Amino acid sequence: MRIYCDIDDVLSETAVSLCELAERMFGKRVAYADVRDFNLQRTFELTDEEMRRYMEAAHAPEHLTAYAPTPGAVAALRQLKAAGHEVEIVTGRPSTAWRGTQAWLEKVGLGDFAVTYVDKYGRPCPPDSNAPRMVPLAELLARHYDVAIDDSPIALKSLEVWHTTCVFVFDRPWNAAYRPAANMTRVKDWADILAHRLISGAACPVLYGCGKFLI
């Protein structure tokens, strides 16, 4: 199977770290469980200039490499790859964050996985001639993945058009109000994802209804 796997808050505990960063930089204290809005500028009530500085700090290699891996994520990806699945890391981070991203992946033992940077959010990316290409969202959506795992309500909304893809909604406070589409299944953690028999590639919940199985 071809599998799309997001990074932030799917592979790494990014929001916890960003809550700490907002408190350190601006004295804004919001607990992880209270991050109900995917828009961090609104969550932390930051001005445009504060938000610019916040994102610059958040994408610096020293910050990106400090993220804790999400429990079970690294072992799950290693198992999926060992079982012969094509796992691609598909992130909405700006590709200018590639150094820190790659350093973190190597640090946690995922340095051999392909990373695709996608403009999931229509954000301008500062020029960096060394940065990997940012794939436009429309180009990503024209591709096919058997399985996709993401937590962002904005990204998930885009993935609603992938009718033959099994999309896992990784449970986070900011997507609690998001109503998964017909091609989606909400999961609470990596054990929950693997319980859908992904490693054997035996079955995909979104396809149960039409009796199809991914072998």
Provide the binding-site residues for Mg ion, judged by CB under 5 A: 6, 8-9, 151-152
Question: Least distance (Å) from Mg ion to the CB of residue 10?
Answer: 5
Q: Which residues, 6+ apart, have CB-to-CB distance to 158 below 8 Å?
A: 120, 137, 141
Question: Least distance (Å) from Mg ion to the CB of residue 38?
Answer: 9
Q: CB nearest Mg ion: which residue?
A: 8
Residue 13 or 207: which CB sits closer to Mg ion?
A: 13
Question: Least distance (Å) from Mg ion to the CB of residue 12?
Answer: 9
Residue 85 or 93: which CB sits closer to Mg ion?
A: 93
Residue 46 or 156: which CB sits closer to Mg ion?
A: 156
Residue 85 or 172: which CB sits closer to Mg ion?
A: 172
- d(CA 43, CA 30) in angstroms, rounded, equals 8
Q: Which of 168, 159, 144, 163 is nearest to 207 (CA)?
A: 163
Question: Least distance (Å) from Mg ion to the CB of residue 151?
Answer: 4
Residue 9 or 119: which CB sits closer to Mg ion?
A: 9
Read out DSSP for 82-148?
Answer: HTT-EEEEEE-S-GGGHHHHHHHHHHHT-TTSEEEEEESS-------TTSPPEEEHHHHHTS--SEE
Residue 26 or 121: which CB sits closer to Mg ion?
A: 121
Question: Least distance (Å) from Mg ion to the CB of residue 147?
Answer: 16
Sign, Cα dihedral of 37, 42, 46, 48: positive
Secondary structure class of 60 (helix, strand, coil):
coil
Question: Least distance (Å) from Mg ion to the CB of residue 186?
Answer: 15
> For the packed helices 14-26 and 48-58, what is the interaxial angle rounded to 10 degrees?
130
Specify the pairing of strand 134-136 against strand 147-150: unpaired
